[in-house]
A and B are shown apart, each in its own frame.
Chain A
Amino acid sequence: MCRRDIGIGSDLIMSARVVVSGLQFAYPDGRVALRGVDLEVEAGERVAVLGPNGAGKTTLALHLNGIQQPDAGSVSVGGLPVTEEHLPEIRRRVGLVFQDSNDQLFMPNVGEDVAFGPANLGFSGLELEQRVTDALAAVGGGDLISRPSHHLSGGERRRAALATVLAMEPDVLVFDEPSSDLDGAGRRELVATLAPLEMTQLIITHDLPLALELCPRAVIMRHGRVVADGATRGLFLDANLMAENRLELPFGFKLETTPKR
Chain B
Amino acid sequence: MGAGHSHALYIHEHSPIHRMAPEAKLVAAFAVVTAVAVTPRQALWAFGLYAFGVAGLVAAARVPPRFLALRLLAIAPFVLFAFFIPFIAGGDTTEIGGVSLSVDGLWGMWNILAKATLGASVSIILTATTEIAEIIRGLGVLRVPAIFTAIATFMIRYLELIVDELGRMRVAMAARGYDPRWLSQARPIASAAGALFVRSYERGERVHAAMLSRGFTGTMPALDHRAARPREWGAVALIATCAAVISALALISS
**A-to-B contact residues, CB < 8 Å:** 62, 65, 67, 88, 91-92, 94-96, 98, 100, 102-104, 106-109, 112, 115-117, 119-121, 124-125, 128-129, 147-151, 164-165, 168
Contact = CB atoms under 8 A, between A and B. Distances in A.
Contact of B160 (A128, A150, A164): A150
A103 B215 contact: no
B195 interface: no
A172 to B, nearest CB: 12
Q: Which of B4, B133, B206, B213 has the most CB of A within 10 A?
A: B213
B213 A65 contact: yes
B210 A128 contact: no
Interface stretch (B98-106, B138-146, B170-178, B219-227): B219-227
Interface in B157-174: 157-158, 160-161
A92 to B, nearest CB: 7
B215 A92 contact: yes
15 contacts: A62-B209, A88-B217, A98-B209, A106-B158, A106-B207, A108-B136, A115-B223, A116-B221, A117-B214, A120-B215, A124-B222, A148-B5, A165-B213, A168-B214, A168-B215
A119 B220 CA distance: 9
B211 A106 contact: yes
A165 B154 CA distance: 19
A220 B132 CA distance: 46
B9 to A, nearest CB: 15
Given A106-B157, A150-B160, A91 B213 contact: yes
A138 B207 CA distance: 24
Nearest to A94: B213
Given A98-B206, A108-B156, A151-B5, A91 B212 contact: yes
- How many interface residues does chain B have, given as a range? 20 to 34
A91 B224 contact: no
A62 B209 CA distance: 9
Contacts of B212: 67, 91
A91 B215 contact: yes
A149 B211 CA distance: 15
B216 interface: yes
Contacts of B224: 124-125, 128-129
Contact of A107 (B153, B203, B217, B222): B153
B153 A100 contact: no
A104 B210 contact: yes
Nearest to A108: B133
Contact of A120 (B157, B160, B214): B214
B213 A107 contact: no
Contacts of B132: 108
Given A96-B213, A100-B203, 16 more contacts: A62-B209, A91-B214, A91-B215, A96-B210, A104-B210, A106-B154, A106-B157, A107-B157, A108-B131, A112-B223, A119-B222, A120-B215, A128-B224, A129-B224, A168-B214, A168-B215
Contacts of B153: 107-108
B221 A119 contact: yes
A164 B214 CA distance: 8
Contact of B215 (A98, A117, A124, A150): A117
Contact of A100 (B4, B206, B215, B223): B206
The 9 closest A-B pairs by CB, nearest first: A119-B221, A120-B215, A108-B133, A117-B214, A103-B206, A96-B213, A104-B210, A151-B5, A67-B209
Interface in B180-225: 203, 206-207, 209-217, 221-224
A149 B157 CA distance: 8
Given A102-B161, A151-B5, A95 B154 contact: no
A120 B156 contact: no
A8 B169 CA distance: 43
B5 A119 contact: no
Contacts of A104: 210
B19 to A, nearest CB: 15
A116 B213 CA distance: 11
A121 B215 contact: yes
Contacts of A96: 209-210, 213
A110 to B, nearest CB: 11
Contacts of B131: 108
A149 B222 CA distance: 19
A177 to B, nearest CB: 13
- The listed residue with most A CB atoms (<10 A of its CB), out of B5, B158, B210, is B210
Q: Which of B131, B160, B221 has the most CB of A within 10 A?
A: B221
